[in-house]
Amino acid sequence: MMAFDGVTLALSKGRIFQDTLPLLKVAGIVPQTDPETSRQLIIGTNRPDVRLIIVRASDVPTYVKHGAADFGVAGRDVLLEQGSEGLYQLLDLGIAKCRLMVAVPQGFDYAAAIRRGGRLSMATKYENMARSHFAKKGMHVDLIKLYGSMELAPLTGLADGIVDLVSSGNTLKANHLEAVELIDHISARLIVNAAAWKLGRTRLEPLVEAFRQGVKAE
Ligand code: PRT
Ligand code: MG
């Protein structure tokens, strides 16, 4: 594995992989297998000098920070939540778009609850972003850290509301919740190891240019 001297791109399967495919295709880069069906975690491409590694979405920055991957495609949510020291965000790829929102049960008067100034509790996977958002608003909020299925929290009395990513809004609707506040717009970014970028830019530049063409074509 260490013998590979091409460029390694870290991706998560699911929406990031699916949305990155057309960008790679514009650059003439085509993966040799589909991570949705194959169990391979290292995927070659039609280009001997470019390979993909498949990792959890929240692990993409870690691989790039440590130089185990040259590049990664990571959601802005992941980068904001984890911090991005040691990384450069080279491009906004405009894919996997969504919004980080506050949501509460339908009919819950969020504005009135804020005016009353009582303590609200919010369940979220995005503790850091939620904390800085509510602090900016001067709100006292108890955050409850969850790792998934945030929507369940208000339905079971675990929390008054949630802070979660929303794209179509169908998940909120299906759970009788409604978005009441926008925290941030999210999209996926092309990230690179900062030290590698400073030292080995000529080796890395062509893939960045390929992505730039892909983004332009989309
Ligand atoms: O799923 P896993 O635990 O492995 O990790 P992950 O959830 O971090 O990965 P993945 O692949 O689900 O998401 C990767 C990236 O896609 C995220 O980091 C975001 O930047 C981006 N993205 C875009 C989204 C969504 N849209 C999105 N809708 N990530 C998650 N969701 C979830 C949301 O949390 C909620 O549960 O989808 C549900 C809401 O979707 P709608 O369409 O019903 O509103
Ligand atoms: Mg997910």
DSSP labels, 170-185? HHHHHTTEEEEEEEEE
The model's pLDDT over 74-125, given as tens digits with 9 standing for 90+, comes to 999 999 999 999 999 999 999 999 999 999 999 999 999 999 988 999 999 9
Position 1 scores a pLDDT of: 53
Instruction: Report the alpha-carbon distance of residue 102 to residue 163 in Å, rounded.
Output: 5
Contact 68, 60 (CB under 8 A): no
Mutate to test the pocket of ligand 1, among 97, 129, 167 (most ligand atoms within 8 A of CB): 167
- Spacing, Cα 167 to ligand 1 middle (Å): 8
Nearest CA to ligand 1 atom 39: 166
Q: Which atom of ligand 1 approaches the CA of 13 most closely?
A: 11
Full set of structural domains in the chain with CATH: 7-96+187-217 (3.40.190.10), 98-185 (3.40.190.10)
Instruction: Give this prediction's pTM.
Output: 0.95
pLDDT at 215: 95
Q: Which residues of the chain have pLDDT under 70?
A: 1-2
The per-residue b/e assignment along 123-162, b for 16 or more CB within 10 angstroms, e otherwise, is bbbbeebbeebbeeeeeebebbebeeebbebbeeeebbbb
- How much is the pLDDT for 2? 58
* CB neighbours of residue 203 within 10 Å: 15
